[in-house]
Amino acid sequence: MRRGVAGSESATNVGKMWAKTVARMFYSQPMLWTEGAPTHCPNGHRLGPNRVLVGWLAPRAGTLEQGHRTHECRECGAVTLWEPTCSWK
């Protein structure tokens, strides 16, 4: 009589099922993390690839405030503070 074998086999099966579930979640269902962003600077210039520098302005230390995303127009240098609104798609 072998002790512990049934328990280890059960744990192995649970581990395999968990691995399949995780693989199915992350590899078979494409999910995108998206964040809204301004389309134009305050001076009306279009923002997009190669037209904007994106940064992060951290909150004050010791507060519960959120930080803000910064978008700097490469054409005129105007900076827009943007509170991130993230979602899964």
Residues 70, 55, single domain; the answer is: yes
Residues 85, 42, single domain; the answer is: yes
What region does 44 belong to: left with phi over 0, alpha with psi -120 to 50, or beta?
A: left
* Cα gap 65→58, rounded to integer Å: 9
The string of pLDDT tens digits covering residues 27-41 is 555 666 777 888 999
Residues 11, 40, single domain; the answer is: no
Q: Which domain holds residue 21?
A: 1-30
Provide the number of structural domains found in the chain: 2
Residues 36, 69, single domain; the answer is: yes
- What sign does the dihedral 30-83-50-41 (CA atoms) show? positive
- What sign does the dihedral 6-8-14-20 (CA atoms) show? negative
Residues 38, 77, single domain; the answer is: yes
Give SS3 for 33. strand
Residues 16, 49, single domain; the answer is: no
Residues 26, 64, single domain; the answer is: no
Residues 44, 80, single domain; the answer is: yes
What does pTM read for this prediction? Answer: 0.56
The string of pLDDT tens digits covering residues 54-88 is 998 888 887 767 788 899 999 999 999 988 776 56
Residues 24, 39, single domain; the answer is: no
